[in-house]
Structures are given as C-alpha cells and as structure tokens.
Amino acid sequence: MSDYSLTTFGQSGELTQVRYALTAVGNGDTCLGIRAKNGVVIACEKKITSVLVDETTIHKVEKIAPYLGTTYAGIGPDFNSVILKARKDVQVYHSKYQDRITPFMLCKQVADLFQEYTQSGGVRPFGIGLIVAGYDEEHGPQIFQIEASGTFYCWKATALGRGGNTAKQFLEKRYTDDLDIEDAIHTAILTLKDSFEGELTDKNVEIGVIRTSDPNKEFKILTQSEIRDYLREVE
C-alpha cells in the first residue's frame, strides 16, 4: 500500500482512532434492541436540535431490507453511507440466491466493511455503532450489535450511546427469556424514558418491530400514532 493508515497502533497496543470512534458512539443518542420470544424490537431517541426542524424527514430507524431493520448511535452521515452499502449487499445476495439473507450474513458483511476502515489508508473508522434486527429461519428473532472496530455479537438485549450503560443495567434487570413482543416494546420505551432528559413523545422516539406472527416477518417502523398509543400504555 502506498499511503499510510491513520489508524496505527499506540504504544499500549491499542488502536487510538478506533477508541475515539467508540467515544463518538458513546456521545450519540441512546438506541437499544430487545429480543423477545416472538419478535424483536429496536428503538432510539431522536434529539431534535431545534423546533424548526421537520422531524418527519429524519429517520434513525431504517430498513435495510423489508425484513431487516437497523438503528444506530453516533455520527448520522456515517450511518447513511453504511446503510447504502448494507442495502446493496442484501440485493446482491438476493439476485444470486433469490433467498433472504440471514441477519448473521448481513452483519458479517457490514462488520467486514467496518474492519476494513480500521486498517486502510486515507480513511477513518466509522463513528457509529449499529443495532440490527432480523429474523433467522433457524434461530428465530435476532439482535446484532456491530461496533466501529468491526466486532459483532448476537445479543438478547443491548443498548448504545450516551445512555447506553444505564440502559443496559436497566435491561439486565428487566430481561427475561420468555418476554412477549408487546412487553418488549413497553420495556424498550421504559428504558429510553429512564435515561431521557425531558419528556418522551411520539416525535422524539422511533421504534421498529419484527413480529414472528407475521408470515413475511416484515420489519415495521411504527407510525407516530402507534408510538403515541404505546407511550400512553406505559404511563
């Protein structure tokens, strides 16, 4: 390689740029994912900097495919470019096998991209952490978390961002293996509420759900009125 990577080892053997990237994730808005016995839910808070911003044009929970969804904590524009790549990966897989890609395979491809950006020249690591929700025919509903370093794991419930650590402690207390999806959505809202400064409304939270009762296992992003109903339920 002709050009040198920005991401070089520090004396203690750690990649400082990657650590900074993880810090950037830690500064982001809180997002979380919970796996239930009959579905998955991912949610995130959407901080609007000014009342003048039209919040309907900001999407923080996104579809990668009709059956895969993701949310993130960290730098927004980075998320956009990663998701373009992820969507394309899904379609490439489709046109080859005409079959749904498993969440694991998709996450692996995204994680490979992340990893590549920790050792290539002239680039910086992505300043985002992703939470991906999907359904695997073999393993059922799944939540994956992908970090800027390129590591990814399957989680029962996880959280990222500014309130990530408190949210995780909250989830550890609340989580059970036989959680119902409706309860999981409630838990997700409660967890966000726990670390949220101010009042949680339908405008500053986004939720995406996969229910196994749906024959297509479609990833649905809840509308504002649906979120309103859930918010009312947890009160």
Partner 1 sequence: MSGHNCVAIATDTRLSTQLMTIDTSFQRVFKVTDSCLMGVSGLGTDVQTLQLTLRSFYFSNSLMKFKLNLYRLKEGRDMKADVFSKLVATSLYEHRFGPYFVSPVIAGLDKVGENEYSPVICTYDSIGYREHNGQFEVAGTGAELLYGVCETFYKPNLEPEQLFEVISNSLLSALDRDSLSGWGAKVYLLTPTELTVRSLKTRQD
Partner 2 sequence: MELDYLKTLPLGGFNFDNCIRNRAMAESGILQAPKTMKTGTTICGVLFKDGVVLAADTRATGGSIVGDKNCEKIHNLAPNIFCCGAGTAADCDHVTEMIKRQLELHRLNTHSENRVQMAALKLVAHAFKYGGQIGTHLIVGGVDVKGPQLIECSNDGNMYSMPYHTTGSGSLAAMAIMETRYKENMTREEAVNLCIAAIEAGIYHDLGSGSNVDVCVITRNKYEMLRNIKHDNFKVFSKPGGYQFKKDRVQVVEEFKHKLVVEAGEQPMDLS
* By the rule CB under 8 A, 94 interacts with partner 2: yes
- Selection from partner 2, partner 1, none that 97 binds (CB < 5 to 8 A by kind) is partner 1
* By the rule CB under 8 A, 213 interacts with partner 1: no
Residues with Cβ < 8 Å from 74, sequence gap 6 or more? 21, 24, 25, 27, 28, 126, 127, 128, 129, 148, 160, 161
DSSP-assigned states of every residue in 83-106: HHHHHHHHHHHHHHHSSPPPHHHH
Size of the residue set binding partner 2 (CB under 8 A): 18
- Selection from partner 2, partner 1, none that 102 binds (CB < 5 to 8 A by kind) is partner 1
Residues with Cβ < 8 Å from 36, sequence gap 6 or more? 141, 179, 180, 181, 183, 184
Determine which residue in the list 50, 96, 178, 215 makes contact with partner 1, applying CB under 8 A: 96
* By the rule CB under 8 A, 109 interacts with partner 2: no
- Selection from partner 1, partner 2, none that 63 binds (CB < 5 to 8 A by kind) is partner 2
For partner 1, which stretch binds (CB under 8 A), given 38-46, 96-104, 120-128, 153-161? 96-104
* By the rule CB under 8 A, 9 interacts with partner 1: no
Distances (CA, A) of 33 to 65, 127, 138: 18, 19, 20
Residues that bind partner 2 (CB under 8 A): 1, 59, 62-66, 84, 87-88, 91-92, 94-96, 98, 116, 120
